[in-house]
Protein backbone atom coordinates (compact mmCIF):
# COMPACT_ATOMS: atom_id res chain seq x y z
CA UNK A 1 0.00 0.00 0.00
CA UNK A 2 1.45 3.39 -0.96
CA UNK A 3 1.94 6.30 1.43
CA UNK A 4 -0.79 8.28 -0.28
CA UNK A 5 -3.17 5.37 -0.04
CA UNK A 6 -2.25 4.98 3.63
CA UNK A 7 -2.95 8.63 4.34
CA UNK A 8 -6.28 8.42 2.59
CA UNK A 9 -7.27 5.26 4.44
CA UNK A 10 -6.84 6.57 7.99
CA UNK A 11 -9.79 9.03 8.04
CA UNK A 12 -12.01 6.30 6.61
CA UNK A 13 -10.79 3.86 9.28
CA UNK A 14 -11.54 6.40 12.02
CA UNK A 15 -15.02 7.07 10.63
CA UNK A 16 -15.70 3.34 10.60
CA UNK A 17 -14.54 3.00 14.21
CA UNK A 18 -16.66 6.01 15.18
CA UNK A 19 -19.75 4.19 13.91
CA UNK A 20 -18.98 1.15 16.06
CA UNK A 21 -18.32 2.73 19.46
CA UNK A 22 -19.96 5.33 21.68
CA UNK A 23 -19.04 9.01 21.47
CA UNK A 24 -17.33 8.79 24.86
CA UNK A 25 -15.32 5.72 23.84
CA UNK A 26 -14.20 7.32 20.60
CA UNK A 27 -13.20 10.57 22.33
CA UNK A 28 -11.26 8.72 25.01
CA UNK A 29 -9.45 6.09 22.97
CA UNK A 30 -9.35 7.03 19.28
CA UNK A 31 -9.43 10.75 18.60
CA UNK A 32 -5.79 11.28 19.66
CA UNK A 33 -4.21 8.36 17.80
CA UNK A 34 -1.44 9.15 15.35
CA UNK A 35 -1.95 8.26 11.67
CA UNK A 36 -0.50 4.80 11.12
CA UNK A 37 2.21 3.46 8.90
CA UNK A 38 1.56 0.48 6.68
CA UNK A 39 4.19 -2.23 6.39
CA UNK A 40 3.41 -5.05 3.99
CA UNK A 41 0.70 -6.98 5.86
CA UNK A 42 0.75 -4.84 9.00
CA UNK A 43 -0.67 -1.50 10.12
CA UNK A 44 1.22 0.21 12.98
CA UNK A 45 -0.88 2.78 14.86
CA UNK A 46 0.75 5.47 17.01
CA UNK A 47 -0.55 5.75 20.58
CA UNK A 48 0.34 8.35 23.25
CA UNK A 49 1.20 5.92 26.05
CA UNK A 50 1.75 2.22 26.66
CA UNK A 51 -1.53 2.01 28.58
CA UNK A 52 -3.36 2.93 25.36
CA UNK A 53 -1.50 0.10 23.67
CA UNK A 54 -2.59 -2.37 26.35
CA UNK A 55 -6.18 -1.14 26.52
CA UNK A 56 -6.74 -1.09 22.76
CA UNK A 57 -5.14 -4.52 22.37
CA UNK A 58 -7.37 -6.08 25.02
CA UNK A 59 -10.64 -4.26 24.36
CA UNK A 60 -10.86 -2.92 20.81
CA UNK A 61 -8.75 -5.17 18.59
CA UNK A 62 -11.75 -6.65 16.78
CA UNK A 63 -13.28 -3.21 16.24
CA UNK A 64 -10.05 -1.85 14.75
CA UNK A 65 -9.40 -4.94 12.62
CA UNK A 66 -12.92 -4.81 11.16
CA UNK A 67 -12.64 -1.09 10.46
CA UNK A 68 -9.27 -1.58 8.71
CA UNK A 69 -10.64 -4.41 6.57
CA UNK A 70 -13.78 -2.52 5.54
CA UNK A 71 -11.78 0.63 4.75
CA UNK A 72 -8.83 -0.95 2.91
CA UNK A 73 -10.20 -4.27 1.67
CA UNK A 74 -7.23 -6.03 3.29
CA UNK A 75 -6.92 -8.14 6.43
CA UNK A 76 -3.88 -6.58 8.07
CA UNK A 77 -2.17 -7.38 11.35
CA UNK A 78 -2.73 -4.62 13.88
CA UNK A 79 0.20 -3.29 15.92
CA UNK A 80 0.69 -0.27 18.17
CA UNK A 81 3.73 1.91 18.82
CA UNK A 82 4.11 4.55 21.52
CA UNK A 83 4.51 7.91 19.79
CA UNK A 84 5.43 10.93 21.91
CA UNK A 85 3.88 13.25 19.34
CA UNK A 86 0.44 11.89 20.22
CA UNK A 87 -1.18 14.14 22.79
CA UNK A 88 -3.49 12.47 25.24
CA UNK A 89 -6.17 15.04 26.00
CA UNK A 90 -9.33 14.79 28.05
CA UNK A 91 -12.31 13.55 26.01
CA UNK A 92 -14.28 16.21 24.16
CA UNK A 93 -17.25 15.43 26.37
CA UNK A 94 -15.34 16.30 29.55
CA UNK A 95 -15.72 19.77 31.08
CA UNK A 96 -12.63 21.97 31.06
CA UNK A 97 -10.39 21.55 34.08
CA UNK A 98 -10.46 24.18 36.79
CA UNK A 99 -7.24 25.91 37.84
CA UNK A 100 -5.29 23.58 40.09
CA UNK A 101 -4.85 26.18 42.89
CA UNK A 102 -1.21 25.08 43.31
CA UNK A 103 -2.42 21.53 43.91
CA UNK A 104 -0.18 18.96 42.24
CA UNK A 105 -1.11 15.29 41.90
CA UNK A 106 0.23 13.26 44.82
CA UNK A 107 1.96 16.29 46.36
CA UNK A 108 0.19 15.86 49.69
CA UNK A 109 0.78 12.14 50.08
CA UNK A 110 3.50 12.57 52.70
CA UNK A 111 6.01 10.12 51.28
CA UNK A 112 3.62 7.71 49.57
CA UNK A 113 4.47 6.94 45.97
CA UNK A 114 3.01 4.78 43.23
CA UNK A 115 4.68 1.46 42.58
CA UNK A 116 5.74 1.34 38.93
CA UNK A 117 4.87 -2.36 38.78
CA UNK A 118 1.29 -1.88 39.98
CA UNK A 119 -0.33 -1.51 36.57
CA UNK A 120 -3.21 -3.25 34.83
CA UNK A 121 -0.80 -5.13 32.58
CA UNK A 122 0.98 -6.74 35.56
CA UNK A 123 -2.25 -7.69 37.34
CA UNK A 124 -3.17 -11.37 37.01
CA UNK A 125 -6.91 -11.76 36.49
CA UNK A 126 -8.87 -14.82 37.63
CA UNK A 127 -12.28 -15.81 39.00
CA UNK A 128 -11.43 -14.42 42.43
CA UNK A 129 -10.83 -10.85 41.23
CA UNK A 130 -12.27 -10.44 37.74
CA UNK A 131 -15.20 -8.24 38.82
CA UNK A 132 -12.95 -5.84 40.72
CA UNK A 133 -10.49 -5.75 37.82
CA UNK A 134 -13.17 -5.08 35.20
CA UNK A 135 -14.73 -2.37 37.36
CA UNK A 136 -11.35 -0.72 37.92
CA UNK A 137 -10.78 -0.57 34.16
CA UNK A 138 -14.29 0.78 33.63
CA UNK A 139 -13.88 3.68 36.07
CA UNK A 140 -10.52 4.47 34.46
CA UNK A 141 -12.12 4.75 31.03
CA UNK A 142 -15.09 6.82 32.23
CA UNK A 143 -14.35 8.31 35.67
CA UNK A 144 -17.46 9.41 37.51
CA UNK A 145 -19.77 7.97 34.88
CA UNK A 146 -20.09 4.35 36.02
CA UNK A 147 -19.59 2.48 39.28
CA UNK A 148 -19.30 5.54 41.49
CA UNK A 149 -18.20 4.87 44.11
CA UNK A 150 -16.26 1.70 43.41
CA UNK A 151 -15.79 -0.19 46.69
CA UNK A 152 -13.38 -3.15 46.67
CA UNK A 153 -13.03 -5.39 49.71
CA UNK A 154 -11.16 -8.53 50.70
CA UNK A 155 -8.45 -9.83 53.00
CA UNK A 156 -4.98 -8.31 53.11
CA UNK A 157 -2.52 -8.98 50.32
CA UNK A 158 -5.02 -9.86 47.58
CA UNK A 159 -4.30 -7.01 45.13
CA UNK A 160 -6.68 -4.21 46.14
CA UNK A 161 -3.87 -1.66 46.43
CA UNK A 162 -2.49 -2.91 43.12
CA UNK A 163 -5.79 -2.10 41.42
CA UNK A 164 -6.04 1.34 43.05
CA UNK A 165 -2.57 2.23 41.86
CA UNK A 166 -3.26 0.78 38.41
CA UNK A 167 -6.20 3.17 38.13
CA UNK A 168 -3.88 6.08 39.03
CA UNK A 169 -1.26 5.06 36.47
CA UNK A 170 -3.82 4.62 33.70
CA UNK A 171 -5.80 7.77 34.47
CA UNK A 172 -2.69 9.93 34.50
CA UNK A 173 -1.48 8.31 31.28
CA UNK A 174 -4.70 9.35 29.57
CA UNK A 175 -4.88 12.79 31.14
CA UNK A 176 -1.81 14.05 33.04
CA UNK A 177 -3.69 17.16 34.18
CA UNK A 178 -6.16 15.18 36.29
CA UNK A 179 -6.22 16.14 39.94
CA UNK A 180 -5.78 12.80 41.70
CA UNK A 181 -5.22 11.84 45.33
CA UNK A 182 -4.29 8.29 46.30
CA UNK A 183 -3.64 7.72 50.00
CA UNK A 184 -4.46 5.55 52.97
CA UNK A 185 -7.44 6.34 55.14
CA UNK A 186 -5.07 6.78 58.08
CA UNK A 187 -3.24 9.51 56.13
CA UNK A 188 -6.53 11.24 55.38
CA UNK A 189 -7.48 11.21 59.06
CA UNK A 190 -4.04 12.43 60.14
CA UNK A 191 -4.13 15.29 57.62
CA UNK A 192 -7.59 16.26 58.83
CA UNK A 193 -6.43 16.33 62.46
CA UNK A 194 -3.38 18.38 61.46
CA UNK A 195 -5.60 20.83 59.56
CA UNK A 196 -7.73 21.33 62.67
CA UNK A 197 -4.67 21.91 64.85
CA UNK A 198 -3.17 24.42 62.41
CA UNK A 199 -6.51 26.10 61.68
CA UNK A 200 -6.18 25.13 58.00
CA UNK A 201 -9.51 23.40 57.39
CA UNK A 202 -10.43 25.56 54.35
CA UNK A 203 -7.17 24.56 52.63
CA UNK A 204 -7.72 20.91 53.50
CA UNK A 205 -11.25 21.00 52.08
CA UNK A 206 -10.16 22.77 48.89
CA UNK A 207 -7.50 20.13 48.37
CA UNK A 208 -9.87 17.18 48.52
CA UNK A 209 -13.15 18.60 47.27
CA UNK A 210 -11.73 19.85 43.98
CA UNK A 211 -10.26 16.52 42.96
CA UNK A 212 -11.15 14.65 39.79
CA UNK A 213 -10.33 11.27 41.30
CA UNK A 214 -10.04 10.24 44.95
CA UNK A 215 -8.70 6.79 45.88
CA UNK A 216 -8.46 5.74 49.52
CA UNK A 217 -6.99 2.50 50.79
CA UNK A 218 -8.19 0.78 54.00
CA UNK A 219 -11.27 2.94 54.43
CA UNK A 220 -12.31 0.79 57.41
CA UNK A 221 -9.88 2.90 59.45
CA UNK A 222 -12.46 5.70 59.24
CA UNK A 223 -14.67 3.89 61.76
CA UNK A 224 -12.27 4.85 64.56
CA UNK A 225 -12.62 8.60 63.99
CA UNK A 226 -16.08 10.10 64.48
CA UNK A 227 -15.29 13.65 63.42
CA UNK A 228 -13.28 12.43 60.43
CA UNK A 229 -16.36 10.51 59.31
CA UNK A 230 -18.31 13.77 59.29
CA UNK A 231 -15.62 15.46 57.19
CA UNK A 232 -15.35 12.54 54.77
CA UNK A 233 -19.12 12.41 54.39
CA UNK A 234 -19.17 15.99 53.07
CA UNK A 235 -16.09 15.42 50.92
CA UNK A 236 -17.74 12.33 49.44
CA UNK A 237 -20.95 14.23 48.72
CA UNK A 238 -19.18 17.14 47.04
CA UNK A 239 -17.18 14.86 44.75
CA UNK A 240 -20.10 12.57 44.00
CA UNK A 241 -22.43 15.45 43.14
CA UNK A 242 -19.75 16.88 40.85
CA UNK A 243 -19.53 13.44 39.13
CA UNK A 244 -15.95 12.93 40.24
CA UNK A 245 -14.77 9.37 40.71
CA UNK A 246 -14.33 7.83 44.17
CA UNK A 247 -12.59 4.48 44.67
CA UNK A 248 -12.30 2.86 48.09
CA UNK A 249 -10.77 -0.34 49.41
CA UNK A 250 -11.33 -2.16 52.67
CA UNK A 251 -10.72 -5.49 54.36
CA UNK A 252 -14.46 -5.68 55.02
CA UNK A 253 -17.65 -5.00 53.08
CA UNK A 254 -19.43 -1.70 53.89
CA UNK A 255 -22.01 -3.33 56.14
CA UNK A 256 -19.32 -5.20 58.10
CA UNK A 257 -17.39 -2.07 59.14
CA UNK A 258 -18.36 -1.53 62.75
CA UNK A 259 -18.65 2.03 64.00
CA UNK A 260 -19.27 3.46 60.54
CA UNK A 261 -22.14 5.94 60.30
CA UNK A 262 -25.20 4.50 58.56
CA UNK A 263 -25.21 7.30 56.00
CA UNK A 264 -21.62 6.47 55.00
CA UNK A 265 -22.41 2.76 54.80
CA UNK A 266 -25.32 3.62 52.53
CA UNK A 267 -23.14 5.74 50.25
CA UNK A 268 -20.40 3.14 50.07
CA UNK A 269 -22.98 0.57 48.95
CA UNK A 270 -24.60 2.90 46.42
CA UNK A 271 -22.11 2.19 43.65
CA UNK A 272 -20.47 -1.13 42.88
CA UNK A 273 -19.20 -3.32 45.72
CA UNK A 274 -16.66 -5.83 44.39
CA UNK A 275 -15.16 -8.56 46.54
CA UNK A 276 -11.60 -9.81 45.97
CA UNK A 277 -11.14 -13.41 47.10
CA UNK A 278 -8.02 -15.51 47.72
CA UNK A 279 -6.57 -16.93 44.50
CA UNK A 280 -7.09 -20.53 43.44
CA UNK A 281 -4.10 -22.82 42.96
CA UNK A 282 -4.10 -22.25 39.20
CA UNK A 283 -4.22 -18.50 39.70
CA UNK A 284 -1.39 -18.62 42.26
CA UNK A 285 0.75 -20.40 39.68
CA UNK A 286 -0.06 -17.70 37.10
CA UNK A 287 0.75 -14.94 39.61
CA UNK A 288 4.10 -16.48 40.48
CA UNK A 289 5.04 -16.79 36.81
CA UNK A 290 4.10 -13.15 36.25
CA UNK A 291 6.17 -12.05 39.28
CA UNK A 292 9.18 -13.95 37.97
CA UNK A 293 8.68 -12.53 34.49
CA UNK A 294 8.57 -8.97 35.84
CA UNK A 295 11.93 -9.60 37.51
CA UNK A 296 13.38 -10.99 34.29
CA UNK A 297 14.17 -14.42 35.71
CA UNK A 298 13.09 -17.94 34.86
CA UNK A 299 11.75 -20.01 37.72
CA UNK A 300 11.21 -23.72 36.93
CA UNK A 301 7.68 -25.08 37.06
CA UNK A 302 8.40 -27.42 39.97
CA UNK A 303 9.58 -24.46 42.07
CA UNK A 304 6.53 -22.43 41.02
CA UNK A 305 4.24 -25.29 42.01
CA UNK A 306 6.12 -25.76 45.29
CA UNK A 307 5.52 -22.13 46.28
CA UNK A 308 1.88 -22.14 45.08
CA UNK A 309 1.11 -25.18 47.24
CA UNK A 310 2.49 -23.57 50.39
CA UNK A 311 1.25 -19.99 50.12
CA UNK A 312 -2.49 -20.11 49.62
CA UNK A 313 -4.18 -16.92 50.75
CA UNK A 314 -1.92 -13.91 50.20
CA UNK A 315 -0.56 -12.55 46.91
CA UNK A 316 1.89 -10.29 48.72
CA UNK A 317 3.44 -13.37 50.34
CA UNK A 318 3.69 -15.02 46.93
CA UNK A 319 5.69 -12.05 45.70
CA UNK A 320 7.87 -12.20 48.80
CA UNK A 321 8.55 -15.88 48.22
CA UNK A 322 9.73 -15.21 44.66
CA UNK A 323 12.05 -12.49 45.96
CA UNK A 324 13.51 -14.84 48.57
CA UNK A 325 14.04 -17.72 46.15
CA UNK A 326 15.55 -15.59 43.39
CA UNK A 327 17.66 -13.56 45.82
CA UNK A 328 19.03 -16.62 47.61
CA UNK A 329 20.06 -18.31 44.36
CA UNK A 330 21.63 -15.10 43.04
CA UNK A 331 23.62 -14.29 46.19
CA UNK A 332 25.07 -17.80 46.45
CA UNK A 333 25.46 -18.18 42.68
CA UNK A 334 23.26 -21.26 42.67
CA UNK A 335 20.64 -22.39 40.18
CA UNK A 336 16.99 -21.81 41.03
CA UNK A 337 15.85 -25.33 41.81
CA UNK A 338 13.91 -27.22 44.47
CA UNK A 339 16.86 -27.50 46.85
CA UNK A 340 17.64 -23.78 46.81
CA UNK A 341 13.92 -22.91 46.99
CA UNK A 342 13.39 -25.09 50.07
CA UNK A 343 16.41 -23.57 51.77
CA UNK A 344 15.38 -20.02 50.89
CA UNK A 345 11.91 -20.58 52.30
CA UNK A 346 13.14 -22.53 55.34
CA UNK A 347 11.31 -25.67 54.25
CA UNK A 348 12.47 -29.18 55.22
CA UNK A 349 14.38 -31.13 52.58
CA UNK A 350 11.56 -33.68 52.35
CA UNK A 351 8.37 -31.95 51.22
CA UNK A 352 5.31 -32.63 53.38
CA UNK A 353 2.56 -34.81 52.03
CA UNK A 354 -0.07 -32.68 50.35
CA UNK A 355 -3.28 -32.19 52.32
CA UNK A 356 -6.29 -33.63 50.50
CA UNK A 357 -10.00 -32.96 50.76
CA UNK A 358 -10.34 -36.42 52.30
CA UNK A 359 -7.92 -35.37 55.08
CA UNK A 360 -9.98 -32.26 55.78
CA UNK A 361 -13.21 -34.25 55.93
CA UNK A 362 -11.67 -36.94 58.16
CA UNK A 363 -10.59 -34.57 60.93
CA UNK A 364 -13.69 -32.36 60.67
CA UNK A 365 -16.25 -35.16 60.80
CA UNK A 366 -14.41 -36.64 63.79
CA UNK A 367 -14.37 -33.27 65.57
CA UNK A 368 -18.06 -32.52 64.95
CA UNK A 369 -19.24 -36.15 65.10
CA UNK A 370 -21.03 -36.13 61.74
CA UNK A 371 -20.90 -38.36 58.68
CA UNK A 372 -19.55 -37.50 55.23
CA UNK A 373 -22.91 -38.52 53.76
CA UNK A 374 -24.56 -35.82 55.88
CA UNK A 375 -22.12 -33.16 54.66
CA UNK A 376 -22.82 -34.18 51.06
CA UNK A 377 -26.58 -34.22 51.58
CA UNK A 378 -29.08 -31.38 51.24
CA UNK A 379 -29.59 -31.15 55.01
CA UNK A 380 -29.64 -27.58 56.34
CA UNK A 381 -29.66 -28.11 60.11
CA UNK A 382 -26.99 -26.19 62.01
CA UNK A 383 -25.37 -29.41 63.23
CA UNK A 384 -24.65 -30.26 59.57
CA UNK A 385 -24.22 -26.81 58.00
CA UNK A 386 -21.50 -25.69 60.43
CA UNK A 387 -19.09 -28.62 59.90
CA UNK A 388 -19.80 -28.51 56.17
CA UNK A 389 -18.79 -24.83 56.10
CA UNK A 390 -15.73 -25.53 58.24
CA UNK A 391 -14.67 -28.21 55.75
CA UNK A 392 -15.04 -25.79 52.86
CA UNK A 393 -13.17 -23.09 54.77
CA UNK A 394 -10.23 -25.38 55.55
CA UNK A 395 -10.20 -26.89 52.06
CA UNK A 396 -9.89 -23.42 50.55
CA UNK A 397 -6.74 -22.59 52.52
CA UNK A 398 -5.07 -25.99 52.84
CA UNK A 399 -5.71 -27.81 49.56
CA UNK A 400 -4.99 -26.97 45.94
CA UNK A 401 -8.58 -27.60 44.86
CA UNK A 402 -10.58 -24.97 42.99
CA UNK A 403 -13.88 -23.55 44.23
CA UNK A 404 -15.75 -25.76 41.79
CA UNK A 405 -13.91 -28.90 42.92
CA UNK A 406 -14.60 -28.21 46.59
CA UNK A 407 -18.26 -27.48 45.94
CA UNK A 408 -18.58 -30.58 43.80
CA UNK A 409 -17.21 -32.77 46.57
CA UNK A 410 -19.97 -31.63 48.93
CA UNK A 411 -22.95 -32.77 46.94
CA UNK A 412 -22.45 -30.81 43.73
CA UNK A 413 -22.67 -27.34 45.26
CA UNK A 414 -21.47 -24.40 43.16
CA UNK A 415 -18.55 -22.05 43.76
CA UNK A 416 -20.74 -19.34 45.34
CA UNK A 417 -21.70 -21.74 48.14
CA UNK A 418 -18.02 -22.32 48.91
CA UNK A 419 -17.30 -18.57 48.94
CA UNK A 420 -20.27 -18.01 51.25
CA UNK A 421 -19.04 -20.76 53.59
CA UNK A 422 -15.56 -19.24 53.66
CA UNK A 423 -16.93 -15.77 54.45
CA UNK A 424 -19.28 -17.15 57.07
CA UNK A 425 -16.61 -19.07 59.01
CA UNK A 426 -14.14 -16.19 58.74
CA UNK A 427 -16.79 -13.87 60.20
CA UNK A 428 -17.93 -16.25 62.96
CA UNK A 429 -14.47 -17.06 64.28
CA UNK A 430 -13.83 -13.35 64.82
CA UNK A 431 -16.57 -13.39 67.45
CA UNK A 432 -16.71 -17.00 68.65
CA UNK A 433 -13.46 -17.81 70.45
CA UNK A 434 -14.45 -21.40 71.10
CA UNK A 435 -15.12 -22.11 67.43
CA UNK A 436 -11.94 -20.26 66.44
CA UNK A 437 -9.95 -22.56 68.72
CA UNK A 438 -11.62 -25.66 67.25
CA UNK A 439 -10.89 -24.57 63.69
CA UNK A 440 -7.28 -23.72 64.56
CA UNK A 441 -6.90 -27.15 66.21
CA UNK A 442 -8.14 -28.80 63.01
CA UNK A 443 -5.75 -26.71 60.90
CA UNK A 444 -2.75 -27.64 63.05
CA UNK A 445 -3.74 -31.31 62.99
CA UNK A 446 -3.84 -31.25 59.21
CA UNK A 447 -0.60 -29.31 58.81
CA UNK A 448 1.19 -31.65 61.21
CA UNK A 449 -0.05 -34.70 59.36
CA UNK A 450 -2.10 -36.05 62.24
CA UNK A 451 -5.09 -36.72 60.00
CA UNK A 452 -3.42 -39.47 58.03
CA UNK A 453 -3.46 -43.11 58.98
CA UNK A 454 -0.14 -44.25 60.22
10 Å CB burial of residue 44 (0-12, 13-18, 19+) is: middle
Residues 11, 76, single domain; the answer is: yes
pLDDT at 85: 55
Which candidate, 344, 348, 326, places its Cα nearest to that of 336? 326
CA 302 to chain centre: 26
Within-domain flag for 167: yes
**CATH code of the domain in which 338 resides:** 1.10.8.60
pLDDT at 19: 87
Q: CA 278 to CA 157: how far, in whole Å?
A: 9
Within-domain flag for 321: yes
Q: CA 117 to CA 120: how far, in whole Å?
A: 9
Contact 128, 285 (CB under 8 A): no
Within-domain flag for 315: yes
Residues 167, 265, single domain; the answer is: yes
pLDDT at 353: 61
With 0.85 as the threshold, say if the pTM is over it.
no
Within-domain flag for 111: no
Within-domain flag for 35: yes
Within-domain flag for 281: no
Which candidate, 245, 111, 271, 112, places its Cα nearest to that of 178? 245
**What is the residue-level pLDDT of the chain in tens, covering all 454 positions?**
444 345 578 889 999 998 888 776 787 778 778 888 887 788 888 887 666 777 788 778 888 988 888 888 888 888 888 775 554 443 333 333 333 333 344 433 333 478 888 888 888 888 888 899 999 998 998 888 888 999 999 888 889 999 999 999 888 888 888 889 999 898 888 889 888 888 999 999 988 998 999 999 999 988 877 888 999 999 999 999 999 999 999 988 998 888 899 999 999 999 999 999 888 888 888 989 988 888 888 989 988 988 888 887 788 888 888 888 988 888 888 888 888 888 888 865 444 567 889 999 999 999 999 999 989 998 889 999 999 999 999 998 888 788 888 988 998 898 888 888 988 898 888 888 889 889 988 988 887 765 544 4
Which residues lie below 8 Å from residue 441, measured CB to CB, with a gap of 6+? 367
Instruction: Report phi then psi at 300, rounded to 5.
Output: -55, 155
Instruction: Report phi then psi at 117, rounded to 5.
Output: -85, -10
Contact 246, 146 (CB under 8 A): no
Domain boundary among 82, 113, 143: 82
Range(s) of the domain holding residue 386: 357-447
What is the layout of strands, in order, in the sheet containing 77-82? 34-39, 42-47, 77-82
pLDDT at 94: 38
pLDDT at 86: 52
Residues 143, 240, single domain; the answer is: yes
Q: CA 56 to CA 407: how far, in whole Å?
A: 37
Within-domain flag for 428: yes
Q: CA 419 to CA 191: how far, in whole Å?
A: 37
Residues 324, 363, single domain; the answer is: no
Residues 189, 243, single domain; the answer is: yes
Strand 150-153 vs strand 272-275: parallel, antiparallel, or unpaired?
Answer: parallel
pLDDT at 216: 94
Contact 246, 240 (CB under 8 A): yes
Within-domain flag for 97: no
Residues 163, 268, single domain; the answer is: yes
Number of folded domains that form the chain: 4
**CATH code of the domain in which 410 resides:** 1.10.1750.10
| Cβ neighbours, 10 Å, residue 143 | 25
Q: CA 379 to CA 400: how far, in whole Å?
A: 27
**CATH code of the domain in which 267 resides:** 3.40.50.300
Residues 176, 309, single domain; the answer is: no
10 Å CB burial of residue 251 (0-12, 13-18, 19+) is: middle
Residues 225, 250, single domain; the answer is: yes
Q: CA 424 to CA 50: how far, in whole Å?
A: 42
Residues 72, 151, single domain; the answer is: no
Q: Which residues pair with 44 in a beta bridge?
A: 37, 79
Preceding omega of 149 cis (within 30 degrees of 0):
yes
Residues 187, 270, single domain; the answer is: yes
Residues 221, 323, single domain; the answer is: no
**CATH code of the domain in which 58 resides:** 3.30.300.180
Residues 318, 436, single domain; the answer is: no
Amino acid sequence: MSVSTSSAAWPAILDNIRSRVSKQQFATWFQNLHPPTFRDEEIVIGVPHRFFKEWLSHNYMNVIASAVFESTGRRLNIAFAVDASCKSRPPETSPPSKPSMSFEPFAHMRGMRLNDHYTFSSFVVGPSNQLAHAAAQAVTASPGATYNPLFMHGSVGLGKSHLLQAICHAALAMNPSLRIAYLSCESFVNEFISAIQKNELPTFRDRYRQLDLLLIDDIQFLSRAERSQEEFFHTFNDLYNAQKQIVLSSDQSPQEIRGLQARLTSRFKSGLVARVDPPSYEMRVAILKKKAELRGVFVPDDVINFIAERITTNIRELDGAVVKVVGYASLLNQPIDMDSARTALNEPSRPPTAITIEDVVRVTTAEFKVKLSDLQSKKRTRSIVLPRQVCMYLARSLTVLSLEEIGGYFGGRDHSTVLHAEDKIRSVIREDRALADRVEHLRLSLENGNSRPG
